[in-house]
Amino acid sequence: MTSVETASDLPIVRSVADLRAVVRDWRRQGLSVGFVPTMGALHEGHLTLVREAGCRADRVVASVFVNPTQFAPHEDLGKYPRQEARDAELLAGAGCALLFAPTVDEMYPEASVTTISVGSATAGGPAQGLEGQFRPQMFGGVALVVAKLLNQVQADVAVFGEKDYQQLMVVRRMALDLDIPTQIVGSPTERDGYGLALSSRNAYLTDAEREIARRLNGVLAEAGAAASSKRPLPAVEKDAYSALLKAGFERVDYVAIRRADDLEPFANGIVDAPARILAAAWLGKTRLIDNMAV
Ligand code: PAF
């Protein structure tokens, strides 16, 4: 028997079998399905993804699962914000039809041993460098959980935020390589009135840190403009790095301008094709990432 919780306005399922039963029923009615995977602690950025999925499909499933395989032991898995009741309310308001909120045991039964790596140092691929260098655990974990979720939901379309641009590239590559038929769609980053990219991790920022965080997008926009006027990229990246430190960021992991389609560096050291500027920088214990088209 299918077990669907209805405590909130939004039906919630916790097992893959129950998820599939609901989706099967929709399919029988001839309805198309959209999917938005999340780790919860939802904000307007996530809700935009849900609305985007709703424009592309008759029914939208969202998942809330704080995926342990994408966190390194020293990272914030334990303190990652968890607020399911609030998330369910927000999702219902954005037009989501079903919340899939599995347990860790449901997603990773004890016997599971399969891993996924999207490329390698020798084969290349979108997981190399940038986030892949500073968070080597992450993209294997993301690829694994997203492959599982896409297989579990079997949606027509899945929507991912461009805020995690490299993740979007990794997911696209993985879905292509594994013949996953769900269409992968990227949705533009939502920003606050000061241009700060919305992120669940912004909740960690103090007021003073938030002021500094709001300067990240301006530094990237300025560097992007310099790059698109053909200034040599090493100089542009170096200046942007210094500008972030001057703005008050305590540490900068990277500022890089890469080819937008595969995140490879520009061989000639200038922008001669569609490009993306990407950065990661620290404020206290909070690591912020952002990116934008150049
Ligand atoms: O972007 C996220 O929130 C996560 O990396 C994702 C895609 C839900 C996988 O856990």
pLDDT band at 8 (very low <50, low <70, confident <90, very high): confident
Q: Are residues 109 and 174 in the same domain?
A: yes
pLDDT at 1 over 90: no
Q: Are residues 143 and 228 in the same domain?
A: no
pLDDT at 2 over 90: no
Q: Are residues 58 and 145 in the same domain?
A: yes
Pocket test for ligand 1, best of 67, 160, 162 (most atoms within 8 A of CB): 67
Q: Are residues 79 and 166 in the same domain?
A: yes
Q: Are residues 213 and 159 in the same domain?
A: no
Q: Are residues 48 and 78 in the same domain?
A: yes
Is residue 102 in contact with ligand 1, taking CB distance under 6 Å? no
Is residue 252 situated within a structural domain?
Answer: yes
Is residue 40 situated within a structural domain?
Answer: yes
Residues with Cβ within 8 Å of residue 246, at least 6 apart in sequence? none
Is residue 24 situated within a structural domain?
Answer: yes
Is residue 293 situated within a structural domain?
Answer: no
Q: What is the pLDDT of residue 81?
A: 87
Q: What percent of the chain has pLDDT over 90?
A: 93
Q: Are residues 165 and 212 in the same domain?
A: no
Is residue 67 in contact with ligand 1, taking CB distance under 6 Å? yes
pLDDT (tens digit per residue) in 164-190? 999 999 999 999 999 999 999 999 999
Which CATH number goes with the domain that contains 257?
3.30.1300.10
pLDDT (tens digit per residue) in 244-291? 999 999 999 999 999 999 999 999 999 999 999 999 999 999 999 999
Cβ atoms of 157 and 182 within 8 Å: the answer is yes
Is residue 245 situated within a structural domain?
Answer: yes
Identity of residue 160: F
Q: Which domain holds residue 247?
A: 200-288
Number of domain units in the chain: 2
Q: Are residues 39 and 150 in the same domain?
A: yes
Q: Are residues 144 and 215 in the same domain?
A: no
Cβ atoms of 210 and 286 within 8 Å: the answer is no
Which CATH number goes with the domain that contains 100?
3.40.50.620
Q: How far is CA 266 from the centre of its chain?
A: 24
pLDDT (tens digit per residue) in 215-237? 999 999 999 999 999 999 999 99
pLDDT at 201 over 80: yes
pLDDT (tens digit per residue) in 132-171? 999 999 999 999 999 999 999 999 999 999 999 999 999 9
Q: What is the pTM of this model?
A: 0.95
pLDDT at 7 over 70: no
Is residue 3 situated within a structural domain?
Answer: no
Q: Are residues 279 and 232 in the same domain?
A: yes
Cβ atoms of 158 and 185 within 8 Å: the answer is yes
81 vs 100, residue with greater confidence:
100
Average pLDDT estimate for 42-64? 97
Pocket test for ligand 1, best of 49, 146, 287 (most atoms within 8 A of CB): 146
Is residue 161 situated within a structural domain?
Answer: yes
The residue among 159, 187, 215 that closes a domain is 187
